[in-house]
Amino acid sequence: QGCTQKYIVKNYFYYYLFKFSAALGEEVFYITFLPFTYWNIDHSVSRRMIIVWSIVMYIGQVSKDILKWPRPLSPPVVKLEMRTNAEYGMPSTHAMAATAISFSFFIATMNLYKYPSELGLAAAFVFSTLVCLSRLYTGMHTVLDVIGGALISAVLLVLLYPAWDTIDHLLLTSPFCPLFSIVVPLVLCYNYPKLDYYSPTRGDTTTILGAAAGASVGFWLNNQYAASAYKSVQPGFPLITSTMLFVLARFFVGILVVLLTRWLMKSVVLGVLGYRYKFPIRDLEARRRLEVEVPYKFVTYSSVGFTATVIVPVLHKLLGLM
């Protein structure tokens, strides 16, 4: 798992295109695009995307570790990534996330804003297709893995769509939302399917559910205590209704605060857990233990989700960026 393969790049266009496309299904994309949508486009769209994303990704990650289908053999394929090589292959969660995010964004915005529906549909299709193809190019999935992931995500979208408004209403108004948003994801993380060897799937699932939990608590708090301040913040797409200067300022200020939160909480929580379980913070094997990995990732990323939905908008308002 720790070795790398030597290869020669013959077409740099495809190489960088698909390396970039693969990144659209990873944390670097989630931690930028989802908050960007919340800060600059529409809160309701962002909420629906986060709901779909967290449910789809949890089902996808658990399915991998239940089915236990291996990734493509290498050789003959050349694997351009090593971190996810320890995971199983079916279904491709990159394909699931790309399909869920792109099409949920299209569905959530097509009735809110005036733009050609054909253009939105084409953009969602191109986005998801690029991410799917990147998994084949990088040697991380078979064609069946990718098709399976996209189809599962599409079925889940169809099943979830009729319940979007109900789920969203409960997230905003139910007095049990904060407790439910924290307890249920924690129970799911601690009862994640056990494997014979370590895989990053449990940690990645905890990251996703933690971020969604923190964001859900933030949604509820905003609706309870800051509803009037938030409803008028997002009148439409930023390129149409806002200057790019304000859009970029909100984005960079927000991302800076989110990244600082992630760094601070990770350091603090790992320090506390290291003291509790008597291990050095840099001990990778200790950080992979259930009693360490789940709380440190859940607390870190729930703090990130809460910061993105509550702290950053308040900061935007104080700085006159609303």
> What residue has token string 């789940």?
294
- Looking at the fold, whether 205 and 307 belong to one and the same domain comes out as yes
- Looking at the fold, whether 149 and 173 belong to one and the same domain comes out as no
Residue among 43, 141, 169, 316 flagged as catalytic: 141
Q: CA angle 55-303-280, nearest 5°? A: 105
Residue 194 in 3-state DSSP? coil
Q: Is 316 a catalytic residue?
A: no
pLDDT of residue 247: 81
Q: Which of 161, 185, 215 corresponds to the end of one domain? A: 161
- Looking at the fold, whether 133 and 277 belong to one and the same domain comes out as no
CB 307 within 8 Å of CB 261: yes
Q: Which of 140, 161, 182 corresponds to the end of one domain? A: 161
- Looking at the fold, whether 41 and 183 belong to one and the same domain comes out as no
- Looking at the fold, whether 173 and 313 belong to one and the same domain comes out as yes
How many whole angstroms separate alpha carbon 273 and alpha carbon 140? 33
CB 274 within 8 Å of CB 181: no
pLDDT of residue 3: 47
pLDDT of residue 233: 42
pLDDT of residue 4: 54
- Looking at the fold, whether 266 and 309 belong to one and the same domain comes out as yes
How many whole angstroms separate alpha carbon 75 and alpha carbon 61? 25
How many whole angstroms separate alpha carbon 49 and alpha carbon 105? 6
Q: CA angle 5-197-23, nearest 5°? A: 50
pLDDT of residue 226: 66
- Looking at the fold, whether 191 and 119 belong to one and the same domain comes out as no
| pTM, two decimal places | 0.83
Q: What is the 3-state secondary structure (H, E, C) of 245-296?
A: HHHHHHHHHHHHHHHHHHHHHHHHHHHHHHHHHCCCCCCHHHHCCHHHHHHH
- Looking at the fold, whether 91 and 11 belong to one and the same domain comes out as yes
The predicted-structure confidence for 259-286, as pLDDT tens digits, reads as follows 999 999 999 998 898 888 888 888 888 8
Give the chain's domain count.
2
How many whole angstroms separate alpha carbon 249 and alpha carbon 227? 23
- Looking at the fold, whether 178 and 219 belong to one and the same domain comes out as yes
- The ranges of the chain with pLDDT < 70 are 1-5, 74, 82-86, 226-243
- Looking at the fold, whether 68 and 101 belong to one and the same domain comes out as yes
- Chain centroid to CA 139: how far? 22
How many whole angstroms separate alpha carbon 80 and alpha carbon 4? 8
- Looking at the fold, whether 128 and 207 belong to one and the same domain comes out as no
pLDDT of residue 161: 86
Domain that residue 211 falls in: 167-227+235-321
Q: Is 141 a catalytic residue?
A: yes
pLDDT of residue 211: 92
Q: Which of 110, 140, 161 corresponds to the end of one domain? A: 161
- Looking at the fold, whether 105 and 148 belong to one and the same domain comes out as yes
